[in-house]
Structure 1
Amino acid sequence: MTRDFSQDVAAVGDIKAVPTMLDIVCRATGMRFAAVARVTEDRWIACSVRDDIAFGLTPGGELQVETTFCHKIRQSGQAIVIDNVAQDATYCRHHTPSIYGLQSYISVPIRRADGSFFGTLCAIDPEPHRLNTPETIRMFELFADIIGYHLTAIDRLSASEETLLDERKVAALREQFIAVLGHDLRNPLAAIDSGTRLLLKTPLNDKATSLVGMIRSSVGRMAGLIDDVMDFARGRLGGGLSLNRKHDEPLETILRQVVAELQVSAPNRTIETEFDLPASVHCDGRRIAQLVSNLLGNALTHGAADRPVRVRAVVAGAELELSVANAGDPIPPAVLEGIFQPFARGTHRPDLGGLGLGLYIAHQIAQAHGGRIDVTSTAAETRFTFRMPLST
């Protein structure tokens, strides 16, 4: 399959200084043909040309690579400089001068910043010219370096644009995904919830009432799972969880409400609380409630059933310190290491319900508040502690 080098030709064409370089090369040396060429193992393609001898090449035009000196330059990586072919012991019998009728020639390699070979900056003329001087060779090398630098910059810009395009595609896909969760899944769930509410207002026997209760419980669980996946999508795929921080959040009241709600779902468990908080805290109360709910629900699920779960929230120095502790089997060290990673549940207690996103989301909420969550787990106690700086 023949490779298309039009992008390389276009890249050199985009370097505005190249025509000026070729003009300087010709004026400084007396050469009447100069070019930037893309050279590969089997192709020689003109990318930019200054032609005052009617050589006949234009950008995109090709020579058979094996008939050129550039073929050798690509292989050796070294420049070739010939003042007068007829008097040059190395090249006087070479086939290239006789094919193209040249008597003077100079060509230096062009490399990208990573050292990869792109092609050559070359000049030819049917008359002899004095080229093999340090000044001339250095000028060609400098121009070749500049071209290589610009080609590298163009490559990087192109890669950045492709990355940006990919990121935009991912962002669009993310928004579609979140929209599906937020609309297409919630709507039928809301319809089921409304239907069960209507059913409960009609006469039902005990079995039907029990079934409706089970349906409502499943609806609540599904709504919670959708919330978790939406938060996961925002935190993992997007720019993090968004907050609605308020200066006057009644945090203690919020925490007591969370505890009361979970106590209803676990009536046989003991939840002990210790709160010593100011009247209001600058935070997102809804998100802090979600964090505590996840930690407390986790403690009730994994903790020893005959031991209390302790929830403590106090101000320590300039920080809010909130902890949830339970007794029970300690978390294995291997699990503890990745405890805040999404779907971590599957590595520890795969028999339990949920997606394993609760601790991950709690961790994201902590970070969004400029805080952190630490965990310690021993035979005596497992404790999750959330700390965040207090701000005004």
Structure 2
Amino acid sequence: MIHKEVDLSRDIERVKQIPIIATLLDVVCQTTGMGFAAVARVTEERWIACIVRDEIQFGLVPGGELQVESTVCNEIRAHHQAVIIDHVQESDVYTNHHTPLQYGFQSYISFPIILKNGEFFGTLCAIDPNPAQLNNSKITGMFSLFADLISFHLQQVELLEQSHDTVQNLSQQLTNSQDENRQYQPISNHNLQEPLRKLRIFSEMLIDATEKTDIDQARNLALKINSNAQKVSMMIKALSGFSVLDDEEAFFEQVNLNKIIADVCTRLSPQLKAKNVTLQVDELPLVNGIPLQLEQLFYHLVNNAVTFSNKNATPVVTISCSTLPHSPLNDALRAGKQSGFVEIQIKDNGVGIEKSQLEKIFDIFSQGPYNKALAGGGVGLAYCRKIIRNHSGLIKAQSEFGKGATFTVILPAI
């Protein structure tokens, strides 16, 4: 029970951080003529007012509670359907209902607030001691939209919290690598901030649209807010995945790279078939490594070769292997007991990479000017470099724009 109370307190604080909600409640009261409106957090055990507008002295303040069993919101929590009552005394369903009898209202409207993950959060509700004309498309459409907007903004606040925590955690982890540490400031100052900046701009525009009761404009802005929120969510997920690569509990074992490539091809089978890719693979060696990480490594490399194929040529991806008696880059690889190194090349005939971008492609969220419209968030190659470093190896790229690319992976031999 203590854990639930802490979670509820955090949820209420999140609602309080959303400035647009006060405007939404004002619009609700002005449009419906009702005197009380609120956003409530509703669970099986509790009904708590997060933000209220009270012009009828109903008596609730932010943080105030009602016995959840006494509320219609409790029924909405169960069935996730809106409840609209124009006139309690003329309603066959609610004329003898315990809630209006207890609280003395004649009109009531409430819409469920459903979070992005499908969970029920609470309700956007309004009441008044007098009847109101609520069953019309404008009123119901407005409440439905406002409930969705509150859900969007709750997601936004949570994303802001997550982005702060993730970047802080990542900055600590990046101190282990000077090159990765170099990337921290751009991630914090630009990559995450840009979609969050758009969220703030669209939110301000949304406040203006709701004050003017321009529902169509508000809905369009809500879609833009949702799109940018999803972008932030994907970036946070990518950063979290990057952080997981530092898992100290991951252990090394003998890995058959032929099986790794076979598994990767199975995962990419739809893409390979869709683009009629010709895949040529040499016999690959056994290496000492972390199986899941090595599968991620080759998945991203092969997927990149397929994704950035040339539309004017049949895609060909070649994976070749050779042995090296020593590191070609002197001390770049950590010394160990290995007898030599294996060099694996993944070569394609795709669109290639501009020379100006070759130094940046392994940075987190790096995307060249030619691939911004393509799928992916610019994290795959950053994952690859991190994985290679975890395996005391090297990765490098060679390319000429328009003539394909070659990625070379060097790993210690067994």
Instruction: Give the TM-score taking structure 2 as reference length.
Output: 0.46
Instruction: Give the TM-score taking structure 1 as reference length.
Output: 0.49
Larger Rg: 1
